[in-house]
């Protein structure tokens, strides 16, 4: 028999593919939108049911980390706890850290806390477990972003924690921190595939491969569809289409030259800039349509490498396409 506080209903079962999650702005995140795909929903259903982390693999800028934000909003837990990995990040930092500077200062003034309670600071995973302890109905989301930035010691060090769903804190007399009622936060881990992860770590995870379509037309449609869910951006249809075509053009050029490819992130950057430029017109400047602005600014969003040519043939607006000023 399940404990009375244990969730028996998977919260992602009621998600419908191709529906939009409107993401509200916060101190950390801007306003955005997320289009749920069936693979994303199915992967979340499995990860939650199996109590496994969800490893999201894919190229940079393909919307991997936004899944955590959309999942947190769907779960009504505000926003995810975020840990962005860097090369010097250690696995212990995700669990706890000891403030040795504060401890040394207290020792010098003979005010040392011998229990170490004052000096042990919670890491993001411990914070997530504390949220569950405080509110039995809370399902926190923890985003571990760009785990491939760390060396193999980080994922290897997490194997025991992920397997046992608990960890010990030696400075606190080996106190064991564990999930209440054997529940577990929803952990979403992203990788840009810059470094291969240890096979044992991957086996501990549910895995979602998130990459855009390879063929030209489906890729353009994929960009436009995901751009439209950012419904706070006012964009002309011609500008949406042309921006997507320009992303595809520069993506191919970068790939042929052996450079990292541009994609969804750069497309959303372009749409954001076009929206802002139409909202903040200068009285001294001549009016420009979004297509005019797109022709002027897109090389600086899409051409990322010095050897690539930042010139672009002018975009000629169709006479049948009215500008926003009309």
Provide the residue ranges of all domains of the chain, joining segments of one domain with +.
20-209, 216-302
Q: How high is the pLDDT of residue 4?
A: 45
- 117, burial (CB in 10 Å: exposed 0-12, middle 13-18, buried 19+): exposed
At 51 the three-state DSSP class reads: coil
> Cβ distance 277 to 293 under 8 Å?
yes
Residue 138 to residue 125: CA distance in whole angstroms: 14
Q: What is the pLDDT of residue 310?
A: 60
- Rounded Cα–Cα distance for residues 235 and 122 (Å): 44
Cα distance between residue 194 and residue 228, in whole Å: 30
Question: How is residue 105 annotated by DSSP?
Answer: H
- 173 contact partners, CB below 8 Å, separation of at least 6: 115
Separation CA 191–CA 64 (nearest Å): 8
Cβ-contact 213, 247 below 8 angstroms: no
Which residues are bridge partners to 188 per DSSP?
54, 143
Both tokens of 43, joined, read 């992967």
Torsion (CA) 223, 228, 232, 236 in degrees, nearest 10: 90
- What is the per-residue pLDDT for 27? 87
pTM: predicted TM-score of the whole model, two decimal places: 0.85
User: Residue 162: its pLDDT value, please?
Assistant: 86
**What does the pLDDT profile of the chain (326 residues) look like in tens digits?**
444 444 458 999 999 999 999 998 888 888 899 999 999 999 999 999 999 999 999 988 889 999 999 999 999 987 999 999 998 898 899 999 999 999 999 999 989 999 999 999 999 999 999 999 899 889 999 999 999 998 888 898 899 898 888 999 999 999 999 887 767 899 999 999 888 999 999 999 999 999 899 999 999 999 999 999 998 999 999 999 999 999 999 999 888 888 888 999 999 999 999 999 888 665 555 578 899 999 999 989 988 877 666 655 545 444 444 443 33
| Buried residues in 242-263 as b, exposed as e (16+ CB within 10 A) | bbbbbbbebbebbeeeebebbb
- Gyration radius of the chain's alpha carbons: 23
For residue 164, what pLDDT is reported?
Answer: 86
At residue 218's C-alpha, the angle toward residues 217 and 224, to 5°, is 95
Which of the 8 DSSP states describes residue 193? S
Q: What CATH number should be reported for the domain whose range is 20-209?
A: 3.40.50.300
């Amino acid at each position: 028999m399940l404990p009375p506080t244990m969730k028996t209903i998977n919260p992602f079962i009621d998600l419908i593919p191709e529906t939009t999650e409107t993401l509200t702005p916060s101190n950390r995140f801007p306003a955005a939108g997320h289009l749920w795909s069936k693979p994303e929903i199915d992967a979340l259903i499995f990860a939650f049911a199996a109590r496994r982390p969800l490893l999201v693999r894919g190229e940079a800028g393909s919307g991997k980390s936004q899944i955590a934000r959309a999942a947190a909003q769907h779960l009504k837990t505000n926003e995810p706890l975020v840990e962005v990995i860097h090369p010097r990040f250690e696995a212990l930092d995700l669990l706890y850290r000891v403030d040795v500077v504060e401890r040394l200062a207290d020792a010098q003034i003979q005010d040392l806390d011998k229990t170490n309670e004052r000096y042990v600071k919670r890491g993001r995973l411990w914070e997530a477990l504390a949220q569950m302890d405080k509110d039995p109905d809370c399902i926190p989301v923890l985003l571990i972003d760009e785990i491939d930035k760390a060396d193999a010691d980080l994922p290897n060090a997490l194997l025991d924690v992920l397997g046992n769903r608990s960890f010990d804190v030696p400075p606190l007399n080996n106190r064991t921190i564990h999930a209440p009622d054997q529940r577990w936060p929803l952990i979403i881990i992203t990788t840009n595939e810059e470094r291969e992860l240890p096979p044992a770590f991957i086996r501990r995870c549910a895995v979602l491969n998130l990459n855009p379509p390879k063929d030209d037309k489906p890729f353009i449609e994929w960009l436009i569809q995901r751009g439209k869910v950012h419904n706070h951006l006012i964009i002309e249809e011609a500008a949406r289409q042309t921006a997507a075509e320009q992303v595809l053009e520069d993506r191919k050029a970068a790939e042929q030259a052996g450079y990292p490819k541009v994609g969804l992130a750069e497309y959303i950057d372009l749409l954001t800039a076009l929206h802002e430029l139409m909202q903040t017109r200068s009285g001294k400047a001549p009016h420009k349509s979004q297509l005019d602005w797109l022709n002027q600014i897109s090389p600086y969003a899409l051409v990322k490498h010095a050897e690539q040519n930042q010139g672009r043939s002018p975009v000629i607006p169709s006479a049948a396409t009215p500008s926003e000023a009309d």
